[in-house]
Chain A
Amino acid sequence: MTDNSPREDDYPAMNETFDRASPFADDAGVKAGPRPDISDEEADAAFAEVVTVDGVDPVAARAALADVPWEPGAPKPDPILVADGVVRRFGGLTAVDVDHVEIQRGVITALIGPNGAGKTTLFNLLTNFDTPDAGTRVFNDKNIDNVAAHNIAGHGMVRTFQLTKALSKMTVIENMKLGATGQKGESLFRSIFPFMWRKQEKEIEERADDLLIHFKMDHMRDQFAGTLSGGQRKLLEMARALMVEPEMVMLDEPMAGVNPALTQSLLGHVTGLRDQGMTVLFVEHDMDMVQEISDWVIVMAEGQIIAEGPPASIGENTAVVDAYLGSHHDSALDLDQEL
């Protein structure tokens, strides 16, 4: 999984600290961080190990989508997440009103829709960051209606935020290490006895470093996350989410504000996750990217799901065209320009 996309280094230097991390560190065969000895191949292998979800065949999962009807709420052969009758109102505004939706395991599903369609609200409801007025959510055959938001990660589902939440006054590596679940040293009592958690901490740090190398952020590991650029923060947030070792990641506009070169490598990372068996649900406005990497597309408008289908089917769907451009529009969408 080595890609030839430009490194993060191509990004304009943000500040002194960033300058000092040599953009040519890699070429010179020298890397920052505690594992200078690791090659890209080893890092990729380590990455694969970190993100692999056992028992999922991504190829079969994708193939199985061929039989799914192209209609809102279509049942999937192997759903990992099912939501039923989920409604969320803000005063008089019904932000989300989803009758039924299923997310297929082991594939990349894109969630698209005009601004204000309710995508972020739906994300919040699916991850219990917000409580619906009605409805049930089932993840991995377990009802998660009453699971607290902080326990969702433990169930194997982790989300990122539309407004990136890098923890500014913590370093990149600290951000990463925070993501690991089940840390012994996170108990107040054990915290004062370092011997009880030092070994685990070292393993976590190695895992974090492997991910950073894979995301080509290893040279920034000891910088404050607050010094990163917007795009770098998106990368960090995604890498940090993977520290949870989830079965499913939910990315809210992971590509927003990211430069085209970096976008390509982000897309590579997302498909890479899927190829290791992870389920990906992501919100995106750029139809090119949706076409490029998603296996299935769900379209929302005014809180409801109005269409579903493989990416190629979406452009011709009249409901979608109406939602984006208003009704009485008689041509198919020119996806390159309009969305």
Chain B
Amino acid sequence: MDYQAIIESLFRGLIGERFIVFALAAIGLNLHFGYTGLLNFGQAVFMAAGAYGLAMTVVTIGPAVNRNTGLNMSESTLFWVGIFMAVVVFPLVLALLMGIPTLRLRADYLAIVTIAVAEIFRLIARSPSLDKWTGSSDGLTGFTSTFYDLSPFTTTDRYFFNLFTGNQFFLVLVGWSILALGTLLCWLMIKSPWGRVLKAIREDEDAARSLGKNAYSYKMQALILGGMFGAVGGMVRAVGFSVAQPDNFITDVTFFVYVALILGGAGKVFGPLVGAALLYAVLDSSDTILRQLVANDYIPESIMSGTQVGQVRFMLVGLGLILLAAFRPQGIFGNKEEMALDDR
């Protein structure tokens, strides 16, 4: 057995790029679901907004604007404009689109609309007729050079106990900085009177309104802000893969974000971080462990072959979640007493 490979995969899961992506998306979902009680089943579309906001600005929209206006924005200018589009404009437009018709209604309407919008946008991005703008099912590439040019690390060496290539390590460092900043912001907001209003809305919207709080406006703020966190996550993902592709943002992605959030503890500032780290540590290391076990004939071919590992590890995660629901339904960080209040 190659124990080093197992440990490496464990650590890559714990602190690597996918952890960062899902932790960011889960921070956003925590603002929606954990603090405000918004049932957003379309966090994937906010992540896609981040990925495509950047990719389209650099690769398709930006050059088209250059051609048609005589502006001559360089690729690096377009990259920074793209970041703004990805983090602010795209998620803002999406949140308004989904929030305006539903946030005055009962919670389930938002759930329906978000899940539908997420799929609609993915299918639109896949559509061959929009190939010129979205790259259809192949997606868009070629928007990351400005970012990786900033990297102080070489592309030939490996860094951090040989876990990452130079580019990966740069992305992880930047990702961690964003994550730290995002967690700090989230913590400040939640501890403030603003965060108190969010919680009040989660508990009882009418009570909040009777005390003079504009529930609609706060829900919209939470939806936009949480969407922006999701977009940052999606953007990191696109930069990490060097591609923005529609099928990276299928509905499953949303549910992985939910798993991370619930695992860590919804409504807790550090819940998303711990949940995402744990989820990917388990997913990545179980993958390596199972493959090793199969390769070394500890698991006979008749039970499981190497190609089935991918599915089996999800079964393991599912089992883990069932155990969690049975023994620690509040998540790692959650408070059992608090959870029990629902039943009174």
Residues of A at the B interface (CB closer than 8 Å) are: 17, 127, 129, 148-154, 158-161, 165, 167-170, 174, 177-179, 181, 183-188, 190-192, 194, 197, 201, 224, 226-227, 240-241, 243-244
Contact = CB atoms under 8 A, between A and B. Distances in A.
A186 B193 contact: yes
A150 B212 contact: yes
A165 B206 contact: yes
B279 interface: no
Interface string B170-187: 000000000000000100
Contact of B193 (A152, A167, A177): A177
Contacts, number: 116
B210 A159 contact: yes
A129 B206 contact: yes
Contacts of B221: 188
Contacts of A183: 193
Contacts of A168: 203, 341-342, 344
B337 interface: yes
Interface of B: 185, 188-189, 191-197, 199-200, 202-204, 206-215, 221, 225, 267, 337-338, 341-342, 344
B341 A226 contact: yes
B210 A169 contact: no
13 contacts: A150-B208, A150-B215, A158-B211, A160-B210, A161-B210, A168-B203, A170-B203, A178-B197, A185-B193, A188-B194, A226-B338, A226-B342, A243-B211
A191 B188 contact: yes
Contacts of B210: 127, 129, 149, 152-153, 158-161, 165, 241
Contacts of B207: 161, 165, 167
Given A188-B221, A188-B225, A150 B214 contact: yes
Contacts of A197: 192-193
The CB with the most chain A CB atoms within 10 A, among B193, B200, B204, is that of B193
Chain B residues touching A, majority SS: helix
Contact of A191 (B195, B208, B267, B337): B195
A165 B205 CA distance: 10
A187 B225 CA distance: 13
Nearest to B203: A167
Nearest to B201: A167
Given A150-B212, A191-B188, A178 B341 contact: no
A198 B153 CA distance: 43
Contacts of B195: 191
A292 to B, nearest CB: 26
Contacts of B211: 153, 158, 178-179, 181, 240-241, 243-244
Given A178-B197, A191-B192, 13 more contacts: A151-B212, A152-B210, A160-B210, A165-B210, A169-B341, A181-B212, A183-B193, A184-B193, A186-B192, A186-B196, A194-B192, A224-B338, A240-B211
Nearest to A151: B212
Contacts of A151: 212, 214
B209 A149 contact: yes
B296 to A, nearest CB: 49
A241 B209 CA distance: 11
Contacts of A148: 214
Given A148-B214, A158-B211, A224-B341, A169 B192 contact: no
Contacts of B196: 170, 174, 177-178, 186
A154 B195 CA distance: 20
B200 A187 contact: no
Contacts of B214: 148, 150-151
A169 B338 contact: yes
A37 B197 CA distance: 30
A161 B206 contact: yes
Contacts of A187: 194
B193 A201 contact: yes
Contact of A224 (B202, B206, B225, B337): B337
Nearest to A200: B193
A152 B195 CA distance: 22
Contact of A169 (B191, B193, B199, B209): B199
B335 to A, nearest CB: 9
> Which of A185, A188, A224 gathers most chain B CB within 10 Å?
A188
A154 B199 contact: no
A192 B209 contact: no
B209 A129 contact: yes
List the 10 closest pairs (A to B, CB-CB), nearest first.
Answer: A226-B341, A153-B212, A185-B193, A191-B192, A191-B194, A165-B207, A167-B203, A150-B209, A192-B188, A168-B341
B209 A194 contact: no
